[in-house]
Amino acid sequence: MLGNGMSRRIVLAGGSGFIGTFLQERLVADGYEVVVLTRFPHDPNGRVRQCRWDGQTLGDWTSELDGACALINLSGRSVNCRYNERNRRDILESRVNATRILAEAVARSKDPPPVWLNASTATIYKHTFEQPMDEATGVIEATPEAKDVFSIKVARAWEQALNEAPIPTTRKVAMRTAMVFAVNRGGVYRTLRSLARWGLGGPIAGGHQLISWIHEDDFCRAVEWLIDHDDLGGPVNVASPNPLPQRDMMRVILRERGMPFGLHATRWMLEAAAYIHRTEAELILKSRYVVPAKLLESGFKFHFPRMEDAVHEIESRLHGKLSPRPQHSGSREPQSVDL
């Protein structure tokens, strides 16, 4: 853990996106000084410093790395789009280029951060219904049925850019993150609850595909845990220990939303809907059976290991029945459910 005399500055690249927005709020609440690297600096609350960067070239922002306690990179174009040629290029280059330029900046730093958490994705693992994918035994392989060839290509290149970074004194962690359930707009949970609202949240293409997910609170706590624990490096699955089939996930959301049922959808219906909404069916069709072995083995305790509790907490906040978590540094000693 960070001592009182150590720097509390975290450099957060891509901190103005969906995940970065609530992560920076959590880090500030827990006493960190947060510096966000963004293409469009703007902080109406004045709680974080923002530095301009383009994700491709060195600049004045590099000085923020000197003496920082951690670097977190969440940069990357959203995958919620059609995978045409231009979007494929932007998705790949936005991730790889940002990682490479950060690697160059860290390598040039006189006092580099001791740890670098770089975003990755749980989609890197093979489409499967039966084999749990942990960091040691998980299979990295595309499956034509899941239409995930491009996604796995991106994930491999993304992690390769991190692994090749010539920074021997900085611990590198590739966060293979599952779907993050959060209150903020722009995330997958808002989309899922809107389907439930209109009674459209039934099984899709059979509904047997496994959904790996994590509550926003556990995601933020996992980030701080990874910063504090020097023995954790390489790929780390950032996901709840309890993935569940798509049909069961939607049943939980429908029940919490007070809906008696959700209409079923076939694969071709999903393909058509994805085309209309300018996104890809892979986001729902692929079975992601991801388990957080490294986090559990290191002693991390999830506050929301069960989706029922996660969905109830989020819906309670959306309806104003539950206040946000207390603004104190409670993540070091979590009071949580033992698994």
Residue 160 has pLDDT above 60, yes or no: yes
Alpha-carbon distance of 278 to 201, in angstroms, equals 19
The secondary structure of residue 204, as a DSSP letter, is B
pLDDT category at 271 given cuts 50, 70, 90 is: low
Give CA–CA dist 197/194, Å, rounded: 5
In the predicted model, is pLDDT for residue 276 greater than 70? no
**Sheet strand arrangement including 171-177:** 49-52, 33-38, 9-13, 70-73, 115-121, 171-177, 234-238
Geometric angle at alpha carbon 133, from 127 and 136, rounded to 5°: 135
Task: Give the DSSP H/E element, type plus range, for residue 267.
Answer: helix 267-276
Per-residue confidence (pLDDT) for residue 82, from 0 to 100: 79
The confidence score (pLDDT) of residue 257 equals 84
Strands 49-52 and 171-177: unpaired
pLDDT at 329: 33
Identify the residue with better confidence: 275 or 307.
307
Mean pLDDT of 41-48: 75
pLDDT, average across residues 50-66: 96
Instruction: Provide the 3-class DSSP secondary structure of residue 213.
Output: strand
Dump pLDDT digits (tens) for 123-141. Answer: 999 999 999 999 999 999 9
Q: How many Cα atoms are found within 13 Å in the side-chain-facing hemisphere of 234?
A: 7
Please report which confidence band the pLDDT of residue 326 belongs to, taking 50, 70 and 90 as the band edges. very low
CA distance 148 to 141: 9
Predicted confidence band at 286 (pLDDT cuts at 50, 70, 90)? Answer: confident
**Both tokens assigned to 76:** 């990357």
| pLDDT greater than 50 at residue 330 | no
CATH number of 9-318: 3.40.50.720
Please tell me which residue, 199 or 58, carries the higher pLDDT value: 58
Quickly tell me which residue has 């920082």 as its tokens: 68
For residues 88 and 83, what is the distance between their CA atoms, to the nearest angstrom?
5
- State percent of the chain over pLDDT 70: 83
Residue scoring higher pLDDT (202 or 279): 202
Q: Is 90 exceeded by the pLDDT of residue 41?
A: no
pTM for this structure? 0.89
pLDDT band at 273 (very low <50, low <70, confident <90, very high): low
Give residue 332's pLDDT.
31
